[in-house]
């Protein structure tokens, strides 16, 4: 069975990962793979980080788990405090879960409960964007606009409105300024709120830099600010999903801080635990928490492993590494270098339509024709060929195919560890461009 079902189906068909060493994963046959995408934007510190390993050993020696129905724990409290302190203005409360989808589910349920508590029970509708992925559980999948992931589960998904993404490469008209484009697409949100009736709309959900569905598509300047204004005008909560783009991936701990926007809620995961433990978090404005505290006093939600002490210890150690080794600065520096290398090597490539992204979060959109932006025939499965060629050549990258806002297309996502060196960046771009050419020749 294809996919990620372990046991008989994967044994023999996939290499067995045996060891990690900085930016590399080694398999049991001794092959080395440069981790150019951190798996799926997870392994921000690379593999086998000594400080995180030590912190995990230390926590395990003290306590692995105590149920949050009875106890809090020192690592969970410490993590919550430092995330709230680092987050955009007004974010005061932190709800620790085990991954990205759980964080998004919690956000949607918290938004709904908030409106129940403040006497606006009519608010239940969610608006999101066509180019988005918010997770695979039913609530998160319903919010996301990723057609192929949603299709067969459609009858199980609550109705969600999907508006245009902020997707400059294909969305902006030739004679339109960046700013005018950003405001135009943001205003679609307002039109949709009006159409649905503002008193029925609960939340707008968006990724500040779109990851898995589109290959690192950042919002243009001004877009998110306008979205914030529109949400405020209509009393709609703004939930920014930073599961992929957050925790330093773009060069700042929170990508939305680069846009000067403070959302009502932020979801994070992936880089938070850096792959050392499964962990996610929902960060919430104090006033939302306060409304519930003053009302029922209890968020009607929860999971067995929330606030897990080992997971929180890993996340604290990851944050210690990011702070102690000045890794946000490294992301900005190496991100600029990666962008320059990609431009130099692939900027004029006849089948590279767009190179985009922020920090160490970069995307490449592939096209059959640069002039017309015509994508490749999906039957060719170019993304799958690139992935296979890159992997055979010892590079892990994250090519995806699918609907890029109404257009079928292929893109490659790069999200290497924050510790990547100059030589490793050279190797990444070298291996990637070789894989691309071999895949195109096949």
Q: Which residues bind ligand PLP (CB under 6 A)?
A: 40, 99-101, 104, 133-135, 207, 211-212, 241, 243-244, 269
Minimum CB–partner distance for residue 401 and ligand PLP (Å) = 16
CB of 136 to ligand PLP, least distance (A): 6
Residue nearest to ligand PLP (CB): 100
Residue number with CB closer to ligand PLP (99 or 399): 99
Tokens (6 digits) for 233: 């005008």
Query: Where in 247-376 does DSSP place strands (E)?
Result: 265-268, 280-285, 352-358, 361-366
Q: What is the smallest separation between the CB atom of 242 and ligand PLP, expressed in angstroms?
A: 7
Cβ proximity to ligand PLP: between 310 and 436 the closer is 310
Which residue's CB is nearer to ligand PLP, number 209 or number 338?
209
Minimum Å gap between C-beta 433 and ligand PLP is: 25
Give 100 or 291: the residue with its C-beta nearer to ligand PLP.
Answer: 100
Q: What's the closest the beta carbon of residue 386 comes to ligand PLP, in angstroms?
A: 19
Nearest Cα neighbor of 134 from 213, 249, 215 is 213
Count other C-beta atoms under 10 Å from residue 194's C-beta. Answer: 11
> Between residues 101 and 351, which has the closer beta carbon with respect to ligand PLP?
101
Considering the complex, what minimum distance in angstroms separates the CB of residue 143 from ligand PLP?
Answer: 9
Pairing of strands 125-129, 201-206: parallel
Residue closer to ligand PLP by CB (options 94, 439) is 94
What b-and-e string marks burial along 408-434, b requiring 16 or more CB atoms within 10 Å of the CB?
ebbbbbbbbbbbbeeebbebbbebbbe
Residue 219 token pair: 């919002």
Minimum distance of ligand PLP from residue 283's CB (angstroms): 14
3-state secondary structure of 224: helix
Non-local (6+) Cβ contacts of 48 within 8 A are: 19, 20, 21, 22
Q: Kindly tell me which of 211 and 417 has the beta carbon lying closer to ligand PLP.
A: 211
Contact criterion met (CB below 8 Å) for 93 and 283: yes
* C-alpha dist (Å) from residue 260 to 56, 222, 328: 35, 9, 17
Q: What are phi and psi of 420, to 5 degrees?
A: -60, 135
Question: For the purposes of burial, counting CB atoms within 10 Å of the CB of 61, is it exposed (0-12), middle (13-18) or buried (19 or more)?
Answer: exposed
Nearest CA among 45, 6, 68 for reference residue 247: 45
Which residues is 355 bridged to in the sheet?
364
Phi-psi region of 98 (alpha: psi -120 to 50; beta: other; left: phi over 0): alpha
Nearer to ligand PLP by Cβ, of 186 and 240: the residue is: 240
State the minimum distance, in angstroms, from the CB of residue 323 to ligand PLP: 24
CB 81 within 8 A of CB 319: no
């Amino acid at each position: 069975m294809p996919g990620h079902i372990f046991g008989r189906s994967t044994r023999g068909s996939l290499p067995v990962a045996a060891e990690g060493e900085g930016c590399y994963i080694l398999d049991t046959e001794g092959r080395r793979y440069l981790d150019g995408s951190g798996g799926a934007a997870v392994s921000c510190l690379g593999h086998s980080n000594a400080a995180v390993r030590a912190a995990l050993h230390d926590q395990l020696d003290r306590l692995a788990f105590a149920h949050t129905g009875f106890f809090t724990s020192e690592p969970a409290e410490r993590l919550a405090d430092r995330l709230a302190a680092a987050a955009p203005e007004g974010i005061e409360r932190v709800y620790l879960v085990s991954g990205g989808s759980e964080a998004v589910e919690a956000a949607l349920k918290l938004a709904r409960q908030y409106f129940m508590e403040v006497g606006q029970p009519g608010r239940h509708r969610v608006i999101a964007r066509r180019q988005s992925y918010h997770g695979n559980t039913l609530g998160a999948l319903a919010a996301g606009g990723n057609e192929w992931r949603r299709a067969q589960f459609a009858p199980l998904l609550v109705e969600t409105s999907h508006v245009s993404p902020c997707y400059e490469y294909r969305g902006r008209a030739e004679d339109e300024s960046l700013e005018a484009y950003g405001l135009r697409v943001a205003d679609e949100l307002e039109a949709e709120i009006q159409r649905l009736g503002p008193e029925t709309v609960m939340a707008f959900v968006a990724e500040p830099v779109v990851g898995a569905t589109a290959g690192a598509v950042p919002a243009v300047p001004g877009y998110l600010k306008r979205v914030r204004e529109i949400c405020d005008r209509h009393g709609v909560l703004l939930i920014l999903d930073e599961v992929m783009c957050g925790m330093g991936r773009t060069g700042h701990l929170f990508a939305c801080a680069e846009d000067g926007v403070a959302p009502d809620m932020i979801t994070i995961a992936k880089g938070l635990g850096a792959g050392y433990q499964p962990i996610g978090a929902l960060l919430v404005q104090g006033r939302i928490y306060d409304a519930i505290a003053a009302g029922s006093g209890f968020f009607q939600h929860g999971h067995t492993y929330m606030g897990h002490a080992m997971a929180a210890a890993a996340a604290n150690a990851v944050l210690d590494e990011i702070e102690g080794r000045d890794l946000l600065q490294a992301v900005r520096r190496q991100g600029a270098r990666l962008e320059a290398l990609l431009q130099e090597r692939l900027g004029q490539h006849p089948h590279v339509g767009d190179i985009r992204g922020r920090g160490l979060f970069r995307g490449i959109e592939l096209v059959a024709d640069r002039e017309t932006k015509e994508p490749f025939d999906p039957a060719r499965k170019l993304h799958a060929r690139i992935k296979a060629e890159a992997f055979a050549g010892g590079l892990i990258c994250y090519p995806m195919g699918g609907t890029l806002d109404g257009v079928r297309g292929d893109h490659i996502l790069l999200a290497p560890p924050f510790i990547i060196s100059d030589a490793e960046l050279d190797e990444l771009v070298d291996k990637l461009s070789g894989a691309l050419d071999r895949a195109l020749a096949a």
